[in-house]
Structure formats: C-alpha cells, structure tokens
Amino acid sequence: MNKIIHIEDFSRSGGQLAQIDPAELMPLPPPYDKIEKPPIRQLTDEQRKRMDASLDGVVAIGLTPPANPEEEKAFIDKFIAGLEKLFTIENNWTFLQPLVHTLDYCVKCQICSDACPTYLASGRQEIYRPTMRAEILRRIISKYIKKENSLVRKFKASDIDLNWQTLARLAELAYRCTLCRRCAQVCLLGCDNALISREIRKIFSQQMGIAPKEIHEKGSVQQLKVGSSTGMTPMALKNIIEFIEEEIEEKTGRKIKIPVDKKGADMLLIHNAGEFMAWPENLEAFAILLDAAGVDWTLSTEIAGYDSVNYGVWYDDFQFSRVAIRQSQAAKSLGVRKISFGECGHAHKAGIVVADRVLTGDLNIPRESILPLLEDIVLSGRIKLDPSRNAFPVTLHDPCNMVRLMGIVAPQRRILKKICPQFREMTPHGVENYCCGGGSGFAITQSTNFPDWRSAVSGRMKFKQILDAFQDVPGPEIKKYLCAPCSNCKGQFRDMFEYYGVWEKSGILYGGLVELIVNAMVDLKKPFIQWEWH
C-alpha cells in the first residue's frame, strides 16, 4: 500500500515525498503485466543537485534550490504576491468566479479522486489526489492572504509552513494533473480541482516566469517569435508543403496544389504544426479530401496562423490570448469567412471556446471544428467510400478538450460507423473518456524522466482501455488502428507505445481520423494508410 502523505509533509525539507512503486501501479493486461524494469528512470546525482525532484522523483519543471535564505524569502514573497493577484478582478477576471467557487465550496468528499485516471493508475498515490493541490493552496491562502488567526486555522485545519520546498513541490504537483477535468465532471457542487492546477501554474508563470521549457520558452514564446511552437518558420512551412504535395502525387498520382495564403478563401484551416513535422500523412489526407470535396480553403503563413496549438490554455492567460489573437489576425488579413481547426483537441478548445471571451470586435471571426465538415463529406455521399478498405479493428480515442470540454462527440462516431466495419468503442467513452495521459502539455514535455512518468502513470489508464478494446485480437499478427483525432494525443501514444513496445507486442498503430476517410476513398488505387510504425 502506498505511503500515507499528509499536507504537512510537503514542507519537510530533504528526501522524496512519494515513491512510484511499480508493484503499486494499476495492473495491465498481458503481456504488459510483467514488471520488467523500473517504470521511471532514476535521476542522476548531478540532476538531483540541479533540479528539485523531491515530490516524486520526476521532473517537469526542475526548480533550482535557492542559494541562501534571502533568495528563499524573495521566492516565497513573490509567490504570495502572485497569489494575491489571483483574487483581483483586474488581474484574474478570466477565472475568478470558478476559482473562488472551488476554493470556497469544495467539501473534500473525495468523490473526484476515483474519477482521476492518474490517481487511480498510480495505485492511489496520495499526492495525486485531485483535492491535494487545492488543499495546499487553500491553506496558504488562509495563513498568508486572509491572515486568519491560529485558532481559526486550527479549527479549519488550515495551517501550513510555507518554505521553498513547499512551493517547489506544489509547482511540480501542478504538472501532475492533465487538466482532463474528469474530477470536475463528477463534482455535485460544481467545483473544479483541475482548474486549481491551472491557477497554480498561472501564478508560477505570470508572476514568477516559471513554466516547463517545452510549454513556455520552446512553446508559446517560440510560436509567437517564429510562427510555430515546433520552431518551423514560414519558409520551412512552404518547403514542407511542397514536400507534402510531392508525397501526395507519389502516393495517389494526384497533382494537388495546397492553397496557401489564398485571399478571400472561405475557410482558413489551421493544423497543429506537429502534424507537419511528425505526421505529414494527416495533412496529405486533408489536402486530398478537401480537394476532392471541392472545399474552398487555405493555409496561412502568418505567425501562429499555421500552428493551431495554444499552450497558454494550460498555464498562462496572456500567452493564451496572444496566440489566439494572432490566429484571428491571420484569418482577418486573409479575409476568410471562418477559421476551422484541424485534428487537435486543445487547439479546438482554446481557439473555439476559450478564446471566445478574449476576441472582441472584428477579431471575433467565426471559428469551428473541422469534424462536422468531415462528417458532412462522408455522410452526404459527395465522395465514394468503400468501408471494406478499412476492414481492420478500429477504436476511437476521445480527446478530452474536444469531447468533455466542448461537446463534439457524435460526428467522429458517425464517420467511423460509416467507414470502419470493425469499429468498437472503448469503455468508458464520449464525455466520460479517459485522458491519453499527455494532456495539458505533458505530451510535449520531454524533460529528464517525465516521459517515463506519463507513459507509466498518467497514460496508464488509457493504455489499459486501448488494450481492452482490442482484447479479442490481442496479438501483433492482426493490425489494429487507434483513431486519435488530436495531435497531442498522438504524441502521447507515439511515446507510450514505444515505451511499452506496443507495435511489436500488439500491432496497434495510431493515427488520425481523416486518414481513415481517405483510406476508404474508392478513387485511390492504393490504400492510403501505410502500416509502418513511426
């Protein structure tokens, strides 16, 4: 049984608070049930000196300990100042109401714990309980913001010793929640402990400039600087598009000119730039399908206009708004009628829903998901499709942002039911789905041993679900397709499947939705999906 950890333990210096014990992790079906190696690489002594890993031996941020008591005091003071700002309208109108509601009305009934895939898959590690972060924050607020006296704090069990160690662990802990919001979904009081994770991240970022490098410096900052979080410049984009056009011609014999910066096009399509770098077949499939369906669309080469990601949605309101505004400006300069987001879950939620109350006036350009258009193309019969071309087992992963957080549930299912005769659902699915384990920036966080953690812990529940969905065809001899209409989720599946050796052991390939549609196109001579692991 995992060690009992109390909030007081967060303030104790030295030592690692929680150990991830492979024997305690949620069991997986065979052949993944044997523990062959420690699930998470140990940090070297040098890494441990440089980066704080005292929460669970894993590093997402890796804060460097202060050199002296003055530095520690300055660090704590800055955090407290940030925490105060969280409760002011001018600094945090964006989330003030849901934040205050959760802090004031959570009764710590722990119903949310059993909804959290990370907590469950970890073998119920106390530190990953959804209420843990909120309770630490609540205690800091009681003592340092509301300045409640010690008797009141005793009555409310809200005492805490605040030191550098407490905050370093809290910062890391905020990056052990995927923001999937399953916890919020089951809360009868309307509280949202995932939001608390985000608000803690916000203090560290907006007040202290602290965030995982992959999300901030190499993520949203790079996107605003060069155009994409991948570092892909507009020039590189044009080269990749040429490459994609050549690939399409080679695969299908079709000469398709991908529209770029086409003024007055009906629709600006923004893909996750990860597709350009890692999964160009997704872009190829989109180009083939939209060309065949006669859709009037274009890509953009403006800053952020060709990369739908918006990492700010996970940690920083300003970085979020900057990207959302740039994406709208790109659309405005092209004079398109609407923006459509490709297969990327968080980009959907960020660009279509969350940005809604930041984009005002002529920047409020209609924005939608590409999925209803894909559904229309498939179900209307505009393109001839042959389901027998997809005669292999297919299951569907629901990206949290697209499904639970914005209610796009049915279009992808209607498509799959039409074109994939061996489609089967996972359990649970739809708005009750489990996160891939790479949500809220985890899929792109490659720091030290963090990828091991997200494969072994945060993605574990999803991995089990996938294996269960294919339990009638477990071996690698039958190739299977995990349809994941989200670039971030695909990144997580790529790493997680590598980690467990899934292609070799189970023959499961992951990919997008549009690839399955194009694979079923009667007009194409050869199958579009190539059963190669990459």
Partner 1 sequence: MGTLIIVLTYIAYVCIVAVYTFKVVGWLRLPPHIRWDLYPVIHEENYRYGGSYYEQQEWWTKPRPKNRWRSILYSLKDNFYMGEYYKRNPLYWLFLLPWHLGFIFIITFHILCFFAAVSMVAGLEISAASASSAGKSFYYILLATGGFAFLTGTFGSIGMIFIRLADRSLRMYSMPMNFFNYFFFLIVYGSGLFAWLALDPTLVEYRAYWLGLITLSPPVLHPMTVLHIILFDIFLIYLPFTRSTHYITRILAYFYIRWDDEPNQRGSKMEKQLNDLLGQKVSWEGSHIAKGKSWVEVATEPGFPDTKKDSK
Q: Is 95 in the site for partner 1 (CB under 8 A)?
A: yes
Instruction: List the Cα angle 344/377/436 in 5-degree steps.
Output: 25
Count of residues touching partner 1 (by CB under 8 A): 99
Tell me the per-residue interface mask from 144 to 183 with partner 1, x by CB under 8 A, - otherwise: ----------xxxxx----------------------x--
Contact residue for partner 1 among 353, 474, 476, 494 (CB under 8 A) = 353
Closest to partner 1 by CB, 186 vs 236, is 186
Q: Give one DSSP letter per residue of 26-61, joined into a string.
A: PP--TTTTS--S-SSPPPPHHHHHHS--TTTS--SS
Q: Please report the sign of the dihedral spanned by the C-alpha atoms of residue 397, residue 193, residue 206, residue 447.
A: negative
CA distance 113 to 488: 25
Q: Is 531 in the site for partner 1 (CB under 8 A)?
A: no
Closest to partner 1 by CB, 130 vs 459, is 130
Q: Is 210 in the site for partner 1 (CB under 8 A)?
A: yes
Closest to partner 1 by CB, 187 vs 285, is 187
Tell me which residues in 305-334 interact with partner 1 (CB under 8 A).
316-319, 321-322, 325
Tell me which residues in 23-82 interact with partner 1 (CB under 8 A).
63-64, 74-75, 78, 81-82
CB of 164 to partner 1, least distance (A): 11
Tell me which residues in 454-513 interact with partner 1 (CB under 8 A).
none
Q: Is 96 in the site for partner 1 (CB under 8 A)?
A: yes
N- to C-terminal Cα distance for the chain? Answer: 38
Instruction: List the Cα angle 113/119/124 in 5-degree steps.
Output: 95
CB of 467 to partner 1, least distance (A): 24
Closest to partner 1 by CB, 91 vs 254, is 91
Q: Is 226 in the site for partner 1 (CB under 8 A)?
A: no
Q: Is 131 in the site for partner 1 (CB under 8 A)?
A: yes
CA distance 425 to 296: 33
Structure tokens at 396: 């569907």
Secondary structure of 255-282 as H, E, C letters: CCCCCECCCCCCEEEECCHHHHHHCHHH
Containing 344, the helix (H) or strand (E) segment is none
Q: At what angle do helices 164-174 and 69-85 cross, to 10 degrees?
A: 50
Number of Cα atoms under 13 Å in the Cβ half of residue 361: 3
- Stretch touching partner 1 by CB under 8 A, among 18-26, 187-195, 228-236, 488-496: 187-195
- Stretch touching partner 1 by CB under 8 A, among 213-221, 418-426, 453-461, 473-481: 213-221
Contact residue for partner 1 among 197, 206, 310, 327 (CB under 8 A) = 206
Q: Is 11 in the site for partner 1 (CB under 8 A)?
A: no
Q: At what angle do helices 96-105 and 130-140 cross, to 10 degrees?
A: 90
Within 10 A of 286 (CB to CB), how many other CB atoms are there?
27
CB of 93 to partner 1, least distance (A): 4
Within 10 A of 414 (CB to CB), how many other CB atoms are there?
14
Closest to partner 1 by CB, 79 vs 510, is 79
Q: Dihedral (C-alpha) 487, 489, 495, 500: value to the nearest 10 degrees?
A: -140
- Stretch touching partner 1 by CB under 8 A, among 34-42, 403-411, 459-467, 508-516: 403-411
Distance of CA 274 to the CA centre of its chain: 13
Tell me which residues in 372-391 interact with partner 1 (CB under 8 A).
372-373, 376
Answer for the pair 347, 272: CB distance below 8 angstroms, yes or no. Answer: yes
Closest to partner 1 by CB, 354 vs 467, is 354
CB of 157 to partner 1, least distance (A): 4
- Stretch touching partner 1 by CB under 8 A, among 23-31, 371-379, 476-484, 486-494: 371-379
Tell me the per-residue interface mask from 404 to 433 with partner 1, x by CB under 8 A, - otherwise: xxxxxxxx------------------xx--
Q: Is 133 in the site for partner 1 (CB under 8 A)?
A: no
CB of 60 to partner 1, least distance (A): 14
CB of 23 to partner 1, least distance (A): 20
Closest to partner 1 by CB, 191 vs 330, is 191
Tell me which residues in 101-130 interact with partner 1 (CB under 8 A).
101, 104-105, 107-111, 113-115, 126, 129
CA distance 130 to 117: 10
Answer for the pair 502, 482: CB distance below 8 angstroms, yes or no. Answer: no
351, 355, 335, 334: which is closest to 271 by C-alpha?
351
